[in-house]
Amino acid sequence: MFFGQFAHSIDPKGRITIPANFREQTLDGVFVTEGFDQNLSVYSKPHFEHIAANLARTSITNARSRELRRKIFSNSAELSYDSAGRILVPARLREMANIKGTVVIVGIGDSFELWSEEDWKAQEAKLNDPEADSSRWEAFDISTRGD
């Protein structure tokens, strides 16, 4: 599982050091795709294949399905680690997520995300906003207790 958040720097060539802990869970490389919130999503190989399989099951005759496929696959890249544990994220993808200088790497359980500092700050503010409807999570019924 991927936990925590880390601010790492990007070298002049666009390489990003992935936290050692995350790297160990994705030794055979990762898939990076455009996220849904102006960010990049990073999946392990097996996990991405699972998502791809789900997508493949949706009907090709459905316009929305075709669009979703295009969105995801056309903006994906399969990346591997160099000997220093870095990945080179394609310039196109970095630009889409407005990532430069520093990137925030955010664990979200079964995958992790890459954010620009700026966008991540905004996202965090949103998550912690006490004004926001506190019942907005209720639909998920996350019990803290097993039965």
Partner DNA sequence: CATAAAGTGTCAGAAAGTGTCAAATTTAAG
Partner DNA sequence: CTTAAATTTGACACTTTCTGACACTTTATG
**Residues found near a second copy in the complex (CB under 8 A):** 1-5, 36-37, 43, 46-47, 50-52, 54-56, 58, 60-61, 63-78, 90, 92, 106-111, 113, 123-124, 126-128, 136-137, 139-146
Beta carbon of residue 78, minimum distance to DNA (angstroms, whole number): 11
Nearer to DNA by C-beta: 14 or 117? 14
Nearest 5°: phi and psi at 37?
-135, 50
Stretch of 5-13, 28-36, 54-62, 65-73 contacting DNA, by CB under 7 A: 5-13
DSSP H or E stretch at residue 44 = strand 40-44
Pair of tokens at residue 126: 């949103």
Q: Are 111 and 44 in contact (CB under 8 A)?
A: yes
Q: Give CA–CA dist 59/61, Å, rounded.
A: 5
- How remote is the C-alpha of 11 from its chain's centroid? 20
Q: Give CA–CA dist 55/98, Å, rounded.
A: 27
Stretch of 2-10, 49-57, 63-71, 115-123 contacting DNA, by CB under 7 A: 2-10
Q: Give CA–CA dist 81/87, Å, rounded.
A: 5
Q: What, of DNA, a second copy, none, does residue 77 touch, CB below 5 to 8 Å by kind?
A: a second copy
Site for DNA in 23-52 (CB under 7 A): 23
Site for DNA in 72-111 (CB under 7 A): 82-86, 88, 90-91
Beta carbon of residue 86, minimum distance to DNA (angstroms, whole number): 6
